[in-house]
Structure 1
């Protein structure tokens, strides 16, 4: 098994769908889109899956809408950092990134996040 091929973060797919919109592809270069993807993804809770079709067939429609809205919001909140890039020389300056993830570590796990096996006590 190779994790990079067999397992992926579904939020990458959703962020990729947002970034494929013409308002991003027409106005940003490849480097800016890559930076925007990173800044958006760091704000989102990862959803690791193996097969999109299996995941989507068991995912309620309202939950998919929530995930899509979260991806759009993450991109929208990261966009000003890309548009207002203050670095004069992007290749040598080291960026400082402040993020405010919306993760709630105290929230109950979703059905796809719950471990399959109970830990032995």
Structure 2
């Protein structure tokens, strides 16, 4: 993802906030790949798979690009107050299914 966003097409046309948004939007479209050390990742994967992953990243960034270009937030006024109905998070509430760890403690 970093290699794709570091190209002049993106660096020269988007500010840091937009690049961060692009990364988040693009990463949310991709299947997670867990990497502990870059060198292990690069040496363990065949080149064909690396090319495929880069193509996926490029496609995800291109899809996210339209959301950044057509960002409705740029026309908002910053003087609208934000009101929270609940100011503190209740630590005693049970986690939602998507917040629970995949592996449970034994």
TM-score, normalised to structure 1's length? 0.60
Tell me the residue number matched to 1:22. Answer: 8
Shift of 1:33: 0.6
Residue from 47, 70, 91 that aligns with 2:56: 70
Which residue number in structure 2 is paired with residue 100 of structure 1?
none
1:17 and 1:73 map into 2 onto residues whose CA distance is 13
Unaligned runs of 5+ in 2: 81-106
Q: Which runs of 4+ in 1 moved over 3 A?
A: none
Root-mean-square deviation (CA, aligned residues, Å) is: 1.5
Aligned equivalents of 1:46 and 1:28: distance in 2?
25
**Map 1:14-93 → 2, pairs under 5 A:** 15-87=1-73, 88-89=75-76
Secondary structure at the aligned position of 2:72 is classed as coil
Displacement after TM superposition at 1:89 (Å): 2.3
Please, what TM-score do these two structures have when normalized by structure 2?
0.68
Larger Rg: 2
Aligned residues: 78
Cα shift at 1:86? 1.8
Matching residue of 2:85 = none
